[in-house]
Structure 1
Amino acid sequence: MKGILLINLGSPDSPKPKDVKKYLGEFLMDERVIDIPFAARTALVKGIILNTRPKQSATAYQKIWWDEGSPLIVISERLQNKIQQEVEYPVALAMRYGSMTIQKGLQELVDKGVKEVFLMPLYPQFAMATTETILVLAEEIRNAHFPDLKISDLPAFYNRPDYIEVLSNSISEHLKGNDYEHLLFSYHGVPERHIRKRDVTKSHCTIDGSCCATPSPAHEFCYRHQCLEVTRLVAEKLQLKAHTYSTSFQSRLGFDPWLKPYTDRTIERYGKQGIKKMAIVTPAFVSDCLETLEEIAMEGEEIFHEMGGKEFTTIPCLNDDAEWVSLLAKWINEWATSNQFHQSSLTSLTEKL
């Protein structure tokens, strides 16, 4: 019997500082999020970050928390329920961090008689700190608790024509009648070293402005290339004019170089340049969350207005959009009826590094 496990990032159980601290501790101690030696990571996270950030983050979570709970969790549950209505296979939901663990999700499926699981990390682009950490943990859990369970996964889908069409349709629908001057594609940032670490060629990813546009096997696991490619494909699909759109990266942490340009500084720059009407979309996320609802829709708008901007339009993520639900159901059915076991993205990466 086949089953599906949708996996997203996660959320604190509540916006209270103690729950936020617990969540941040698990998240930031992940060696694929802060990829420095364990002792240094412990000193940084437990000695510094967790003594200051939880209170700030709790305030941010309180701004966006819904009556039903965390927006990310609520939206993901809605997505799960709608997909379940379109496929005949059991669909479970898990989070990489927090109380909705991957182990619980797999156990739910196993209890229903599932022998083969299709993991669906809900990230269009592959990155160490997103898809990879999910696949690594899922494999560890399988080995420890479900050794007879077969697991395969949905590869990064950033350039699939059907995904680009759904994303483009969503953007177009939310911008209908909006005479914006500039559309900003904002993606979650990662340290530049993450890009180089996952360069399977060991030499291609120079992050010099040209490597992402030059064909290479490195692109299979290059987050930066995959983000830029989403922008390019959507712009092509929507026939956007040159200089009316651009790409940036948000949510940097620490002092090491992260992918540039930074979203907050980009918003500031366009405001200073006299752009009065700006729209922003966040294609690294498929579900609205703290990074889209607070960092972009609140902080980003505040920066834009401070710089003289007038209208700031935040385009929602795909969330539980009907076209998105149907697309995921289609991918599930394609996997379930293929009658072959697919090599995991993690295995492919490990073999190539």
Structure 2
Amino acid sequence: MADTSVTRAVLLMNLGSPSSLQVKDVKTYLHEFLMDKRVIDYPYLFRKLLVDGIIVPFRAPRSAEAYGRIWWEEGSPLIVITKQLVAALSARVHVPVQWCMRYGMPRPDVAMDTLAQQYPNLQEVLLIPLYPHYAMSSYETAVVYAQHWHRKKRYPFRLAVLKPFYDDADYIQVLSAHIQNFLKPDYHLLFSYHGVPERHIRKSDITKQHCLQRTDCCEVPSPAHAFCYRHQVMVTTRLVAHRLGLGTDQYELSFQSRLGRDPWLKPYTAQRLQQLPAEGKKRLLVVCPAFVSDCLETLEEIDQEGRKTFLESGGESFEMIPCLNTIPSWIALLQKWIDQFVSGDQTMLWNAQPIKQAV
């Protein structure tokens, strides 16, 4: 029965996952993901030839095997964790909470359909992209995709958006305290962020004259930083390291998941994992703050492949710090932001349209 008393709701949005381990389902997922013009930002026909003719046919079987190594009994870890997060939040907030994915199912309109049918007097939905940092291939594409379905189906409610929270004091405290639980003497801490092509950074530069134009561009104040992934991950790293009291020789950051041969943000995680033992850093902790939920990129790429690379290169001990997943402090922070939204506080809302890239 429809509930006419509810006027606000929440929609969590994560990356997505194949629906099963079958190669055909992995192909479907990879096609949707890689055909996104904010992921591979080439002209459509070239992108289609590259994705459907080269990448997907060769990558899908390997990806299916990789997913198989991290798949849980309940299903895809990312989907399971997202469902757990929704359940935990639903028990703590006084508004409905739904979830959707940028790639795969459920799409944003599926979740919005459910909300519209169950709560006919809904006035506003808070979209929470589960990405701390702004990047055209993560936060931006998620928001634009949700906005697309919101406009296309002409839902009567407004769609508010949580802004990137990479420098939010409460988020930094939660992330730092989580990392603190794993810190050990004589261990080196590697912040491994998902990489992006350098051209994405330049395209996201609203000034068109700042990002990657000088070696210290991320330290020089600029309006471009509101959209600059590189700047934002550096800020997160610096704030967390400061809160943990780490010296500059105790931590570093790198970028993982490179695809193709174009220049991506450096240094590359895979290379650093090979190099660190020779530099005397043989005991390693790795944290992946670009993700709030463990997924293929953390569980397989880092905890399995990265571990193997590091140990075979002479490392002695390797530990991956889990993502925030459903730890109580993370759930409490999400609850705080939701409560602020319900009360009319717009402090954590995104107040500008994500830029529309010319790709």
TM-score (norm 2): 0.94
2:318 pairs with 312, 315, 323, which one? 312
**1:127 and 2:97 correspond:** no
Equivalents in 1 of 2:248, 2:329: separation in Å? 28
Equivalents in 2 of 1:332, 1:181: separation in Å? 37
Gaps of 5+ in 1: none
Tell me which residue corresponds to 1:166. 174
2:58 pairs with 52, 55, 69, which one? 52
Question: Helix, strand or coil: the match of 2:36?
Answer: coil
* Contact 2:192 2:287 survives alignment (8 Å): yes
* Contact 2:337 2:348 survives alignment (8 Å): no
Q: Counterparts of 1:1-353 in structure 2 under 5 Å?
A: 1-113=7-119, 114-175=122-183, 178-206=184-212, 208-338=214-344, 344=350, 347=353, 349=355
Measured after TM superposition, the shift of residue 343 of structure 1 is 7.1
* Contact 2:116 2:155 survives alignment (8 Å): no
Task: Give per-residue Cα distances to partners, 1:178-200, cap 9 Å, x unaligned.
Answer: 22431000000001011111111
* Contact 2:340 2:346 survives alignment (8 Å): no
The percentage of counterpart residues that share the same residue type is: 49
Give 1 or 2: higher helix fraction. 1
What is the letter of the counterpart of residue 118 of structure 1?
A: L
What is the letter of the counterpart of residue 137 of structure 2?
A: A
Measured after TM superposition, the shift of residue 346 of structure 1 is 5.4
What is the letter of the counterpart of residue 311 of structure 1?
A: S
What is the letter of the counterpart of residue 222 of structure 1?
A: C
* Contact 1:135 1:346 survives alignment (8 Å): no
Which 10-residue stretch deviates more, 139-148 or 112-121? 139-148
Measured after TM superposition, the shift of residue 207 of structure 1 is 5.7
What is the letter of the counterpart of residue 201 of structure 1?
A: T
Equivalents in 1 of 2:21, 2:31: separation in Å? 15
- Residues 6 and 180 (structure 1), Cα distance of their counterparts in 2 relative to 1, 3 Å cut: farther
Measured after TM superposition, the shift of residue 208 of structure 1 is 4.0
Which 10-residue stretch deviates more, 187-196 or 131-140? 131-140
* Contact 2:127 2:162 survives alignment (8 Å): yes
Measured after TM superposition, the shift of residue 349 of structure 1 is 3.6
Question: Helix, strand or coil: the match of 2:291?
Answer: coil
* Contact 2:196 2:258 survives alignment (8 Å): yes
Measured after TM superposition, the shift of residue 112 of structure 1 is 2.1
What is the letter of the counterpart of residue 288 of structure 2?
A: T
- Residues 48 and 76 (structure 1), Cα distance of their counterparts in 2 relative to 1, 3 Å cut: same
Question: Helix, strand or coil: the match of 2:353?
Answer: helix
* Contact 1:180 1:279 survives alignment (8 Å): no
Question: Helix, strand or coil: the match of 2:234?
Answer: helix
- C-alpha root-mean-square deviation of aligned residues, in Å? 1.6
Equivalents in 1 of 2:296, 2:319: separation in Å? 17
Equivalents in 1 of 2:76, 2:149: separation in Å? 26
Measured after TM superposition, the shift of residue 328 of structure 1 is 0.3
Task: Give per-residue Cα distances to partners, 1:291-317, cap 9 Å, x unaligned.
Answer: 000000011110111111010010000
* Contact 1:11 1:98 survives alignment (8 Å): yes
- Residues 293 and 216 (structure 1), Cα distance of their counterparts in 2 relative to 1, 3 Å cut: same
Task: Give per-residue Cα distances to partners, 1:31-51, cap 9 Å, x unaligned.
Answer: 111001000100000010111
Task: Give per-residue Cα distances to partners, 1:300-346, cap 9 Å, x unaligned.
Answer: 11011111101001000000000000000000110111167997455
Task: Give per-residue Cα distances to partners, 1:9-39, cap 9 Å, x unaligned.
Answer: 0000112211111100000000111001000
What is the letter of the counterpart of residue 275 of structure 2?
A: R
Equivalents in 2 of 1:111, 1:303: separation in Å? 50
Equivalents in 1 of 2:352, 2:45: separation in Å? 26
Measured after TM superposition, the shift of residue 108 of structure 1 is 1.5
Equivalents in 2 of 1:99, 1:174: separation in Å? 34
Equivalents in 2 of 1:131, 1:242: separation in Å? 29
- Residues 270 and 343 (structure 1), Cα distance of their counterparts in 2 relative to 1, 3 Å cut: closer
Gaps of 5+ in 2: 1-6
Measured after TM superposition, the shift of residue 257 of structure 1 is 0.6
Task: Give per-residue Cα distances to partners, 1:136-188, cap 9 Å, x unaligned.
Answer: 1111111111342200100000000000000000000122xx22431000000
Equivalents in 2 of 1:90, 1:339: separation in Å? 18
- Residues 309 and 207 (structure 1), Cα distance of their counterparts in 2 relative to 1, 3 Å cut: farther
- Residues 311 and 207 (structure 1), Cα distance of their counterparts in 2 relative to 1, 3 Å cut: farther
Equivalents in 2 of 1:342, 1:277: separation in Å? 38
- Residues 35 and 346 (structure 1), Cα distance of their counterparts in 2 relative to 1, 3 Å cut: farther
Question: Helix, strand or coil: the match of 2:218?
Answer: helix
